[in-house]
Amino acid sequence: MSTNQQLFDRAKISIPGGVNSPVRAFRAVGGTPRFITRAQGAYMWDAEGTRYIDYIGSWGPMILGHGHPAVLDAVRKAIEEGFSFGAPTEREIELAEEILSLVPSCEQIRLVSSGTEAGMSAIRLARGATGRSKIIKFEGCYHGHADALLVKAGSGLATFGHPTSAGVPAEVVQHTLVLEYNNVEQIEEAFRTQGSEIACVMIEPIAGNMNFVRSSVPFVKRIRELCDQHGALFVFDEVMSGFRVALGSAQSLYAELIPGFRPDLSVFGKVIGGGMPLAAFGGPRRIMEQLAPLGPVYQAGTLSGNPVATACGLATLREIKKPGFFEALSERTAQLAHGLQAAAQAAGVPLVSECQGGMFGFFFASELPQNYNVVMATDKERFNRFFHGMLDRGVYLAPALYEAGFVSAAHTADDIDATLAAARDVLAQL
Ligand SMILES: Cc1ncc(COP(=O)(O)O)c(C=O)c1O
């Protein structure tokens, strides 16, 4: 039987770095990536037959756990009917209707195949609809790997960002302004000096790409006001938080705290595909109708709205809509997040945790970070030792300190207890 190391060595010959997405290579934590052979419920098994309690859930989509019977049935049926037609299907309407019924800010939605594609298309739409070029994003938020978004902050507020990837020309990011997350003064200053040129502000409302950092309510409220005053669009990237932190996504949580709050455009992925390549972006009809074939903003996809992916996403959404689903998931997730913090406290290790719905984060720090620089200043060595200690005990956490974790409906109280027992063991040696 192949070992993980043998497979990794072999993979590196035919695939750059041995992986098809960089974080899978374990570069941040070191060691050998696990090659997964199968998954069921809350567990995954690697090539050596080792079982792990899975807290990645394919980086978010597997909210029901792996191999949920209703999803399997829907996918099997869809496969029998055909893999892809390149023509419209009723199932696309059903999925669109399902998403719209749960997210009141969206009157129309377009389906695509990845979060990157959805985010990139939402920006094009925002630029097309406003006739402006500049966009604002925040340090530490990830919106996919489109050129204009691979950018880090420039030296001052007035300067536009620098590419973070080779192959992205400086001219391509010259319209992208990168600001500090949760910094109200910076965004006020940006709008004061450049407000009439800004097409949109894009944000991860609960940033899972810096582990778990919430945008503060005053911050979101102020961005909403500034966008309204200056005619810019507010884009919520809910690829990770969508249908994961609450049935109505993160925007429903902010709408509870800010009367009348809605983003202009929303970007979804992960959960809406239930583990298949599917993502979407949506908003009010007057903006969405700017898209081809109705309007001048071009956007298309051979596999967009794929019939197997839509069947998988639809079956997933129908499960998470069931009464009590989010209450139970939230309780389980809180049991884990609070349990980790309590275990660390007992061991005298500074650790803080956060969670919402089925998403959680924890930091080796004494206070919850509010922005990227603070996240990256938390104790990396300790995180890496903790990660490997947990992995050795059969618990698969995200392999980088800036990534969120995910609990599924398949995680039982016993799984959480086993995870916390492993954590106590590891924390005692940190
Ligand atoms: C918030 C957010 N936006 C966009 C993306 C990109 O999605 P994809 O990896 O499907 O292209 C991700 C991926 O993790 C994400 O977390």
Is the CB of residue 211 below 6 angstroms from any atom belonging to ligand 1?
no
**Residue ranges of E strands in 292-388:** 352-356, 359-363
Residue 158 has pLDDT above 60, yes or no: no
Q: Which residues of 151-190 are buried (b: 16+ CB within 10 A; e: fewer)?
A: bebbeebeebbbbeeeebeeebbbbbbbbbbbbeebbeeb
Predicted confidence at residue 319, as pLDDT, reads: 98
Query: Token match 């599924």: residue?
Result: 408
- Out of 62, 123, 142, 403, mutate this one to test ligand 1's pocket (max ligand atoms within 8 Å of CB): namely 142
Q: What residues contact residue 331 under an 8 Å CB cut-off, 6+ apart? A: none
- And the tokens for 240? 């990770």
- pLDDT tens-digit readout, 113-138: 999 999 999 999 999 999 999 999 99
Residue 157 has pLDDT above 80, yes or no: no
How many angstroms separate the CA atoms of 232 and 196, rounded? 8
Q: Specify whether 402 is catalytic.
A: no
How many angstroms separate the CA atoms of 285 and 298, rounded? 16
- And the tokens for 43? 């567990």
**Residue ranges of E strands in 132-225:** 134-138, 151-152, 162-163, 176-179, 198-203, 206-207, 213-214
Residue 406 has pLDDT above 70, yes or no: yes
**CB-CB contact of 44 with 38 (8 Å):** yes
Is the CB of residue 268 below 6 angstroms from any atom belonging to ligand 1?
no
Query: Token match 């990139």: residue?
Result: 120
Q: Specify whether 142 is catalytic.
A: yes
Residue 108 has pLDDT above 70, yes or no: yes
Is the CB of residue 105 below 6 angstroms from any atom belonging to ligand 1?
no
Is the CB of residue 59 below 6 angstroms from any atom belonging to ligand 1?
yes
> 17-31, 144-158, 161-175, 276-290: which range is least confident on average?
144-158
Predicted confidence at residue 154, as pLDDT, reads: 74
Mean pLDDT of the chain: 97
Mean pLDDT computed over 158-165: 80
Spell out the long-range contacts of 146-153 with Cβ–Cβ below 8 A and sequence spacing 24 or more.
Answer: 146/116, 146/119, 146/120, 147/172, 147/173, 148/120, 148/123, 148/172, 148/173, 148/175, 148/176, 149/119, 149/120, 149/123, 149/176, 151/176, 151/178, 152/178, 153/178, 153/179, 153/180
Is the CB of residue 43 below 6 angstroms from any atom belonging to ligand 1?
no
Count CA atoms closer than 13 A to 352's CA, side-chain side. Answer: 13
- pLDDT tens-digit readout, 376-393: 999 999 999 999 999 999
Q: Specify whether 237 is catalytic.
A: yes
Residue 98 has pLDDT above 80, yes or no: yes
| Nearest to 180, CA basis, from 375, 403, 23, 355 | 375
Predicted confidence at residue 302, as pLDDT, reads: 98
CB atoms within 10 A of CB 322: 11
- pLDDT tens-digit readout, 317-346: 999 999 999 999 999 999 999 999 999 999
Report residue 160's pLDDT band, with 50, 70 and 90 as the boundaries: confident
Mark residue 131 as left, alpha or beta (left: phi above 0; alpha: psi -120 to 50; beta: remaining): left
Predicted confidence at residue 186, as pLDDT, reads: 96
Is the CB of residue 114 below 6 angstroms from any atom belonging to ligand 1?
yes
Helices (H), 103-132: 115-130
The closest residue, in CA terms, to atom 16 on ligand 1 is 240
- And the tokens for 223? 């961005």
Residue 423: alpha-carbon gap to chain centroid = 25
Give the atom of ligand 1 at the shortest distance from the alpha carbon of 241: 1
| Catalytic residue, candidates 55, 142, 254, 396 | 142
- pLDDT tens-digit readout, 293-304: 999 999 999 999
Residue 155 has pLDDT above 70, yes or no: no
How many angstroms separate the CA atoms of 393 and 391, rounded? 5
Mean pLDDT computed over 399-419: 97
Is the CB of residue 113 below 6 angstroms from any atom belonging to ligand 1?
no
Residue 65 has pLDDT above 60, yes or no: yes
The one-letter amino acid code at 38 reads: R
What Rg, from alpha-carbon coordinates, does the chain have? 21
**CB-CB contact of 30 with 8 (8 Å):** no
Mark residue 18 as left, alpha or beta (left: phi above 0; alpha: psi -120 to 50; beta: remaining): left
Residue 402: alpha-carbon gap to chain centroid = 12
Predicted confidence at residue 153, as pLDDT, reads: 81
**pLDDT more than 90, % of the chain:** 97
- pLDDT tens-digit readout, 171-209: 999 999 999 999 999 999 999 999 999 999 999 999 999
Predicted confidence at residue 280, as pLDDT, reads: 99
Q: What residues contact residue 374 under an 8 Å CB cut-off, 6+ apart? A: 365
- Out of 58, 123, 143, 406, mutate this one to test ligand 1's pocket (max ligand atoms within 8 Å of CB): namely 143
Give the atom of ligand 1 at the shortest distance from the alpha carbon of 270: 10
The full length of the chain comes to 430
The closest residue, in CA terms, to atom 3 on ligand 1 is 143
**CB-CB contact of 184 with 191 (8 Å):** no
CA of 287 to the centre of ligand 1 (A): 23
Spell out the long-range contacts of 223-228 with Cβ–Cβ below 8 A and sequence spacing 24 or more.
Answer: 223/187, 224/258, 224/261, 226/187, 226/188, 226/191, 226/195, 226/201, 227/200, 227/201, 227/264
Mean pLDDT computed over 216-227: 98
How many angstroms separate the CA atoms of 46 and 36, rounded? 4
